Amino acid sequence: MKDGKHITMGIESSCDETAIAVVADGREILSNVISSQISIHTQYGGVVPEIASRHHLNNIPHVFSQSLEEAGVTLDEVDEIGVTAGPGLAGALLMGTAFAKAVAMAADKPLVGVHHIQGHIMANLIEHPDLKPPFLALVVSGGHTHLVEVRGYNEFKILGATRDDAVGEAYDKVARVLGLGYPGGPKIDALAKEGDKKAIEFKRVYLERDSLDFSFSGTKTGVINYLHSEEQRGHQVNRADVAASFQEAVIEVISNKALRALEMTGYDGLAVAGGVACNSALRARLTQMCEKAGKKIDIPSPILCTDNGVMIAAAAYHKAQEGHFTGLRLDVWPGLNMETGLGKLEV
Ligand code: KG4
Ligand code: ZN
């Protein structure tokens, strides 16, 4: 039942989640189906690209049917189909885009290619209806760490980016050396609650004065070196203290840089996005920091921070409203640039 609503389907398959959602008027979630492959990749200590593609291939038809069924809409009632075109794993992206093209062709629906990170940012629009561009966004995901000026629904300016590891990547690598398994972020989050965040002073890298870029590899290497030297000395390592101290170093840098970006740009609030935005300590610190600075803060619920179809539908809805369709020429770009987006491919 459509009830005069504008219906968008969002398809996400850039990594290890096969996700399809149906959203009404760009903000109301009608369904949000996520088939996670985490338990499969855990055995290998990280995402295996070919295995991810094969699982997308098997899962996507079921996820698609379930998303329509739960939403209570027919494919005929869908106004446009949004799909992640990059960045991500090439083979995984191909599964989602090939499926989206097939559905768009069969049902004669317009297709909107979406930048995965733009999608993460747009997840904020779902639970924060007052949020409209321009605004400042902090992206903390497995592959990206960005401070971004969202100038419009299809216009993004990167103010700062990581020069080495993304924050989620650093979490996952530190978790691996601590023997916590994949994905490491949630495990460090939980273990850090039992540790002392002041126990070990790991490196905080701020780069040049007023730089909004990030660098986490020195902090990560500091953890690895600490573990090796403690082992060589025959000391018993308190893993909870290591987790808490590593997390504290990372959160301190992220929150200070986000605050500096707010001061430099003059925006009245911060929208946070990406899988690491699930982190309980980061959420608390950013909230506290914004309250103290008299700034607003928007952080999506955890289920909308990790990869999902809702964020792709939200981004696609706004792109479609502004007439940015990709059509069947859509390709995939594993390293798709956020500022240029899909550029000339949009018709
Ligand atoms: O945004 P996302 O789902 O995928 C990318 O676009 O990369 O982010 C996945 C990342 C992983 O590195 C994972 O360890 C991290 O988000 N993550 C967390 C937490 N939950 C997920 N990191 C820290 N604390 C968490 N609670
Ligand atoms: Zn993501």
* DSSP string over 15-71: SSEEEEEEEETTTEEEEEEEEE-HHHHHTTTS--HHHHHHHHHHHHHHHHHHHHHHH
User: Is ligand 1 within 6 A of the CB of residue 279?
Assistant: yes
Residues with beta carbon < 5 A to ion ligand 2?
A: 141, 307
User: Is ligand 1 within 6 A of the CB of residue 168?
Assistant: yes
Q: For the chain, give the number of residues.
A: 347
Quote the pLDDT of residue 42: 82
Query: From atom 4 of ligand 1, which residue's Cα is the shortest distance away?
Result: 142
Quote the pLDDT of residue 224: 97
Closest to 64 in 3D by CA, of 24, 27, 104, 37: 104
Burial class for 76, CB neighbours closer than 10 Å (0-12, 13-18, 19+): exposed
DSSP 8-class letter at 83: E
CB proximity list for 64: less than 8 A, separation 6 or greater: 11, 20, 99, 103
Query: From atom 3 of ligand 1, which residue's Cα is the shortest distance away?
Result: 306
Measured distance CA(95)–CA(60) in Å, rounded = 8
Quote the pLDDT of residue 309: 98
- Quickly count: other Cβ atoms within 10 Å of residue 62's Cβ: 13
Instruction: Find tokens 């991500």 and name the residue.
Output: 88
**Residue 273 host element (H or E):** strand 269-273
- Cα–Cα distances in angstroms (integers) from residue 222 to residues 171, 236, 255, in the given order: 13, 17, 20
CA 77 to ligand 2 centroid distance, Å: 28
**Residue 160 host element (H or E):** strand 155-161
Quote the pLDDT of residue 325: 95
CA 234 to ligand 1 centroid distance, Å: 33
CA 245 to ligand 2 centroid distance, Å: 25
Bridging pattern class, strands 80-86 and 7-12: parallel
Quote the pLDDT of residue 347: 62
* CA 274 to ligand 1: nearest atom: 1
* CA 182 to ligand 1: nearest atom: 14
pLDDT under 50 in the chain at which residues? none
- Cα–Cα distances in angstroms (integers) from residue 289 to residues 50, 252, 263, 271, 292, in the given order: 42, 11, 12, 13, 5
CA 328 to ligand 1 centroid distance, Å: 31
Measured distance CA(327)–CA(108) in Å, rounded = 11
User: Is ligand 1 within 6 A of the CB of residue 300?
Assistant: no
User: Is ligand 1 within 6 A of the CB of residue 142?
Assistant: yes
CA 42 to ligand 1 centroid distance, Å: 14
**pTM score over 0.85:** yes
Measured distance CA(225)–CA(36) in Å, rounded = 33
- Cα–Cα distances in angstroms (integers) from residue 21 to residues 102, 127, 245, in the given order: 17, 15, 37
User: Is ligand 1 within 6 A of the CB of residue 307?
Assistant: yes
Assess contact for 63 and 19: CB atoms under 8 A: yes
Quote the pLDDT of residue 344: 67
Quote the pLDDT of residue 49: 87
Quote the pLDDT of residue 82: 98
Query: From atom 10 of ligand 1, which residue's Cα is the shortest distance away?
Result: 142
**Main-chain dihedrals φ then ψ at residue 155, nearest 5 degrees:** -135, 115
Assess contact for 274 and 141: CB atoms under 8 A: yes
**Token representation of residue 306:** 């990790």
**Token representation of residue 317:** 């809805």
- Cα–Cα distances in angstroms (integers) from residue 252 to residues 4, 126, 159, 202, 219, in the given order: 47, 28, 19, 11, 12
218: amino acid identity, one letter: G
User: Is ligand 1 within 6 A of the CB of residue 308?
Assistant: no
- Cα–Cα distances in angstroms (integers) from residue 18 to residues 10, 314, 324, in the given order: 11, 17, 24
Strand partners, 29: 23
**Token representation of residue 44:** 């290998």
Quote the pLDDT of residue 41: 79
Q: Residue 258: CA atoms inside 13 Å, Cβ hemisphere, count?
A: 32
Q: Residue 232: CA atoms inside 13 Å, Cβ hemisphere, count?
A: 6
